[in-house]
Amino acid sequence: MACSTTYPMLFVLLIFPLHILAQTKFTIPLGSSLTANQETTPWLSHSGDFAFGFKQIQPQNQFLLCIYYAKIKDTTIIWYANDGYPVPRGSIVELNPQNGLILRDPQGKMIWSTSPIIASNVAYAVMNNTGNFVLVGSDSSVLWESFRYPTDTLLPTQILEIDDKLVSRKSEPTNFDYDSEYYIGHTSILRRSQLSYRLIFDELGLNILKRNNQRLLLTPPNVPSISENYHRLSLDFDGVLTHYYHPKSTTSTGNERWSTLWSLPDNICLAILGETGSGVCGYNNVCHLGENQRPYCVCPKGYSLTDPNNKYGNCKPKFIPSCDEFGKGNPEDLYDFDVVTDVDWPLSDFERIYPSAEEECRKACLEDCFCAVAIYRSNSCWKKKLPLSNGRVDTTLNVKAFLKIRKVST
């Protein structure tokens, strides 16, 4: 997914607290370490539901230090260290009394640690049944916990303060870089009214708690049982905030995948609109809304993906209009248009012609060497230049797009 300006996708959450030190029987002692390879056994929660350790990601020999669900086939990461950057095979994370967790590369160089948040010496660590990894002091105080440093996912019982945020991965498979201008912002749901106070994730689902203690339920009724299902709220790489659930007990014929309980916004293609960045999809790409409010991107005719492995990325034109070509003949002999409806790139205009008939709009773009696309709507013509940003399908606008394509080779 590509960058855009702030869109209110980042949620502030407060969950009813749960005693996080109830598992002292299953503690991780000082000096414990894990090595980034496929053979290392992770640190498990008492229930075995959650694991803390290294997961191999593409490309091979790259590992991510993370927390993930340990019992289901669909390996789902719910928290990651080091801002999501993978480390090479042979890297080591160890539990240190002064610094807590320390991540080092194979040469011993420190890459990431939980310090300087440590106020006193660490006594031990716990991977809780809630999915929260906790560092505990000698006085039984909580010195550090993963729940206080969320990444892209929230879990039941997790507590976040009003200005905490979720940060999505940039793309689905392996890229954990961030487009901060898009992802880092404040929650509009909570800030639409000063009466809104917290977002609560409990057995009823997600609720907005107001300062008068009234609640607004966001989740549909009949939430699948938390005792029988895993639940998570994730800000996915495509910008959609989704409440998922997954049966804890599965069979070979049962449901082995995450199901969507609800998500928002209703149409991410229309919700993202920024003067900088490309939008949901890459430059020159077009966002379409698919099943479960998930976006998918399709390059328009005359364009192809810059990176064939990233369908959400930029689309490169098969030719770039050049003013030098206009001296080689009549523009009508050089160019034609691919005409599509309900497609627009709303922030790529460099000229508006009003009033304009449809044929006048077409001709104006044809004869302008800077014009790559012309949009015609309501007796107006918008000429657009490359690169095109915020491409989307919008059936409410009744627009017609003229995409300039080369008619003959020059």
Sign of CA dihedral 216, 222, 224, 227: positive
Number of other residues whose CB lies within 10 A of the CB of residue 103: 21
Cβ-based neighbours of 370, under 8 Å, separated by 6 or more: 321, 323, 350, 383, 385
Query: Which pLDDT belongs to residue 326?
Result: 67
- Amino acid code (one letter) for 6: T
Give the integer Cα–Cα distance in Å for 274 and 389.
9
Are the C-beta atoms of 30 and 98 separated by less than 8 Å?
Answer: no
Query: Which pLDDT belongs to residue 132?
Result: 96
Query: Which pLDDT belongs to residue 327?
Result: 65
Sheet holding 400-406, edge to edge: 335-341, 400-406, 373-377, 380-384, 349-353
Residuewise pLDDT in 10s, the chain (410 residues): 444 333 333 333 333 333 344 444 579 999 999 999 988 999 999 999 999 999 998 777 899 999 999 999 888 999 999 999 999 999 999 999 988 999 999 999 999 999 865 557 899 999 999 999 999 998 899 999 999 899 999 899 886 666 778 888 766 654 344 343 333 333 344 444 455 566 777 777 777 777 777 777 777 888 898 889 999 999 888 888 899 999 998 654 456 789 999 888 889 999 888 777 888 899 999 999 998 889 999 999 999 999 999 999 999 998 877 787 766 678 888 899 999 999 999 988 999 999 999 999 999 999 999 999 999 999 999 999 999 999 999 999 899 999 999 886 54
Residue 144 region, left (φ>0) first, then alpha (ψ -120 to 50), else beta? beta
Domain locations in the chain as residue ranges? 1-17+159-264, 21-155, 286-406
Closest CA to 274 of 10, 2, 4, 9: 4
Burial (0-12, 13-18, 19+ Cβ within 10 Å), 193: exposed
DSSP string, 316-369: EESS---GGGGGGS-HHHHEEEEEEESEE-TT-EEEEESS--HHHHHHHHHT-T
Please give the torsion angle defined by the CA atoms of residues 104, 110, 116 and 122, in that order, rounded to the nearest 10 degrees. 40
Q: Which residues, listed in sequence order, are joined to residue 110 by a DSSP beta bridge?
A: 104
Q: Which CATH number fits domain 21-155: 2.40.50.220, 3.40.50.12780, 2.40.30.10, 2.90.10.10?
A: 2.90.10.10
Are the C-beta atoms of 366 and 297 separated by less than 8 Å?
Answer: no
Number of other residues whose CB lies within 10 A of the CB of residue 108: 8
Please give the torsion angle defined by the CA atoms of residues 346, 351, 354 and 357, in that order, rounded to the nearest 10 degrees. -80
DSSP string, 203-225: TTEEEEEETTS-EEE-SPSSPPP
Are the C-beta atoms of 385 and 370 separated by less than 8 Å?
Answer: yes
Cα 178 → chain centroid: 9
Measure Cα distances from 326 to 30, 334, 365 in Å. 73, 8, 13
Tokens matching residue 152: 């892209």
Measure Cα distances from 58 to 51, 174, 296, 355 in Å. 20, 6, 22, 53
DSSP string, 80-132: ESGGG--EETT-EEEEETTTEEEEE-TTS-EEEESTT--SS-EEEEEE-TTS-
Closest CA to 271 of 188, 349, 201: 188
Whether pTM exceeds 0.85? no
Q: Which residues, listed in sequence order, are joined to residue 28 by a DSSP beta bridge?
A: 125
Query: Which pLDDT belongs to residue 399?
Result: 94
